[in-house]
């Protein structure tokens, strides 16, 4: 329910009160604009069966932060924002793709932020296309309504004047049959490895990424 106007009226407010009012109005606009999207996301999160306590807690955190921060889909949300990522699998060999993240100095799946999009599956696809250049990426399984196979909340460290914040990550599986067609966009990482699932699990250090790899592997057994 939107907030009712209260005294003092605008012309009688102090500068801090005006700033607070503007912030309230902005967040109300986010609540209205994304009400249907957030309802769909809440339903998707509630229906998901977490693999472990960490994923269970992370889903609860995403639900809580969506309620507390209606601009959570946008990078202007200071506490954090929604992101999307994907495990890319070569459908011909069942090998998976990892890239060396230049900012975090470690091996990860491809992924990134929403650029004013509201469909997280499309965010994962766009980011994967930009970071790999693979021409035939497709969601797996190929169904009408694509849902994440995993959810994760992690801290992204401060860099320059960008504060430390949370990434609320929606994680998908994409496939390709042209692994040799890697052609990342300018500015993206150029260090990739095609690995068996076991090799990838051994290489990465992030526990939630190991969980994601185990889930993805189970889809191709």
Contact criterion met (CB below 8 Å) for 128 and 86: yes
pTM of structure: 0.91
Give the tens place of pLDDT for each residue, 62-111.
999 999 999 999 999 999 999 999 999 999 999 999 999 877 788 999 99
CATH number of the domain located at residue range(s) 80-219 in this protein? 3.90.79.10
Q: Is 51 exposed, middle or buried (0-12, 13-18, 19+ CB in 10 A)?
A: middle
For the segment 166-172, the average pLDDT, to the nearest whole number, is 97
Residue 185 in tokens: 């966009």
């Amino acid at each position: 329910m939107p907030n009712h106007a209260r005294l003092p009226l605008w012309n009688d407010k102090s500068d801090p009160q005006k700033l607070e009012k503007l912030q309230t109005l902005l967040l109300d606009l986010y609540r209205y604009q994304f009400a249907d999207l957030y309802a769909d996301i809440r339903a998707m999160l509630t229906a998901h069966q977490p693999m472990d306590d960490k994923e269970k807690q992370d889903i609860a955190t995403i639900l809580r932060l969506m309620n507390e921060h209606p601009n959570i889909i946008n990078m202007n949300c200071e506490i954090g924002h929604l992101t999307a990522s994907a495990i890319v699998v070569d459908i011909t060999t069942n090998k998976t793709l990892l890239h060396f993240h230049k900012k975090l100095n470690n091996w990860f799946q491809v992924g990134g932020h929403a650029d004013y999009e509201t469909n997280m599956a499309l965010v994962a696809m766009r980011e994967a296309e930009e970071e790999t250049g693979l021409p035939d990426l497709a969601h797996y399984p190929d169904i009408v309504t694509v849902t994440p196979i995993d959810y994760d909340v992690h801290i992204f460290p401060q860099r320059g004047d960008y504060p430390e914040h949370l990434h609320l990550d929606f994680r998908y599986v994409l496939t390709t049959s042209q692994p040799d067609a890697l052609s990342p966009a300018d500015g993206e990482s150029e260090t990739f490895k095609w690995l068996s699932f076991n090799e990838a699990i051994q290489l990465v250090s992030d526990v939630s990424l190991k969980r994601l790899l185990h889930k993805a592997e189970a889809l191709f057994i």
